[in-house]
Each structure stands twice: as C-alpha cells, then as structure tokens.
Amino acid sequence: MKNILLLIFFLLTFPTLSFSKTITGKIISVADGDTITILNNHKQQTKIRLYGIDTPEKGQAYGKKAKKFTASLTAGKQVSVKIYNTDRYGRSVGVVFVSGTNVNEEIVRAGYA
C-alpha cells in the first residue's frame, strides 16, 4: 500500500516527466532567448518554449544578447526536443538538443538564464 501511494504521489507531482515525447526538426526561428520554432519533415511548425529556464525579454537588459546566444547554438540546425508540457500560450515546452548537447543547460551555463 505504501508503494502504491508513493507511486500515485510521484505521478501526480511530476506528470510532465511521465508523459514526454520527442520531436525533431530544423530551427527556423529564434523569437528570444527561450523560445524557438522548429519545422519538422512534414513541414509543420512547432513553437517551443525551453523547459526550466527563463531568459530576459527583448526589451530587457541582456535580452538581445540572450537571443543571439540561443541563435548561435540553434539557428538553422537540426534538433531534437523532449517535450514535457504545453504552456498557456499553446507552445510546447521542452528540452532542446543539438548533436547531443543540451541547449537549455548551455544557456544557463553561459549566464543568460
């Protein structure tokens, strides 16, 4: 019984970790430091909000630099995105990988998030 309660607690507490999927595509747009758009093989666009990070907005200090850094890591490149959720604006929320490198972590490591 204790294990069942623990499992239920885990599933309710971390639902996004339980139901993730991976999508792939080419980066066609970098809106800001934490929002990109990919185009998949079927020519469908998906707007991605990078999971677990927040970068300055365009009008804020370092906003343009954060966008430029994200673009330097991703623009025009093939990526895979592990999707965890959808935000209130309808964007998929996920972790972006370019050639095995976790882009979300690199943005934090560089100090832009």
Range of the domain at 54: 19-109
pLDDT of residue 52 exceeding 60, the answer is yes
Domain count for the chain:
1
Residue 11 within a domain = no
Residue 8 within a domain = no
State pLDDT tens for residues 19-28. Answer: 679 999 999 9
Which of 4-8, 30-34, 85-89, 95-99 shows the lowest per-residue confidence on average (mean pLDDT)? 4-8
Residue 9 within a domain = no
State pLDDT tens for residues 60-84. Answer: 999 999 999 999 999 999 999 999 9
Q: What is the CATH number of the domain that holds 78?
A: 2.40.50.90
Catalytic hit among 49, 88, 105, 109: 49
Annotated active-site residue 49? The verdict is yes
The bridge status of strand 92-98 relative to strand 45-50 is parallel
Residue 3 within a domain = no
Residue 14 within a domain = no
Question: In whole angstroms, what is the distance from residue 9 CA to residue 109 CA?
Answer: 32
Residue 82 within a domain = yes
Question: In the structure encoding, which two tokens stand for residue 98, read together?
Answer: 């370019």
Annotated active-site residue 109? The verdict is no
Residue 10 within a domain = no
Annotated active-site residue 105? The verdict is no
Contact 53, 34 (CB under 8 A): yes
